[in-house]
């Protein structure tokens, strides 16, 4: 059959997301695995938003050993970075992917999301510099966009990006001690 032959219509099936994870990485997604603490953990995720439950399981497992509030905030912020990669970069296009890399430090977790770059590469190249900023109105109840980075800006201890539109790396650091965090602010 020639390479240009059309793909036949195949039946739709439901496959557990855990079937897509290689056995050597399954403990990355189980915060109760009993595996020893790690220094660095990374995983490549596919372009579909349907992988978000797997992303959240990965993030929750990265924060294993911390209290429920910490795991929630870390997973929320990491999910925002992953969603931005899917919706605002080539990582969300067919055959795209993005990588989440978590580094365990003595005083907190550092997460980096590396995507495949801006969708419109004809205006910016790999060496173009454009740093992200949080929308100050992103946390307004009426805001229709800009909430993700606004949440990261409000709740992370520190955050930033590499400024490259070709392969952007957005990161945040969340200290284990959330005492001074806006997460605990009663307002």
Note the pLDDT tens digit of each residue in 137-151.
777 777 777 788 889
The pLDDT of residue 89 is 87
CA torsion through residues 73, 50, 31, 108, sign:
negative
The pLDDT of residue 36 is 60
| C-alpha span between 128 and 108 (Å, rounded) | 31
| C-alpha span between 81 and 101 (Å, rounded) | 12
Q: Which residues pair with 101 in a beta bridge?
A: 42, 112
| C-alpha span between 124 and 129 (Å, rounded) | 9
The pLDDT of residue 137 is 75
The pLDDT of residue 124 is 47
Nearest to 162 by CA among 119, 108, 126, 110: 126
As averages over each run of 10 residues, the pLDDT of the chain (187 residues) reads: 74 84 89 78 94 95 93 96 92 91 96 90 57 79 79 93 90 92 73
39 contacts 84 by C-beta, under 8 angstroms: no
Task: Note the pTM of the prediction, 2 decimals.
Answer: 0.85
């Amino acid at each position: 059959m020639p390479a240009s032959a059309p793909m036949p219509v195949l039946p739709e099936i439901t496959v557990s997301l855990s079937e897509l994870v290689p056995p050597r990485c399954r403990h990355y997604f189980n915060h109760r695995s009993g595996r020893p603490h790690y220094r660095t953990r990374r995983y490549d995720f596919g372009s579909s938003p349907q992988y978000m439950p797997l992303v959240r399981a990965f993030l929750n497992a990265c924060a294993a050993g911390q209290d429920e509030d910490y795991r929630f905030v870390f997973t929320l912020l990491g999910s925002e970075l992953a969603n931005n990669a899917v919706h605002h970069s080539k990582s969300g296009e067919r055959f795209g992917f993005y990588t989440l890399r978590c580094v365990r430090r003595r005083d907190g977790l550092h997460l980096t999301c590396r995507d495949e770059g801006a969708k419109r590469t004809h205006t910016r190249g790999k060496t173009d510099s454009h740093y992200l900023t949080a929308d100050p109105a992103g946390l307004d109840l009426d805001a229709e966009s800009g909430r993700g980075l606004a949440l990261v800006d409000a709740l992370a201890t520190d955050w930033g990006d590499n400024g490259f539109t070709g392969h952007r790396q957005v990161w945040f650091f969340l200290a284990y001690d959330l005492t001074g965090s806006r997460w605990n602010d009663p307002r």
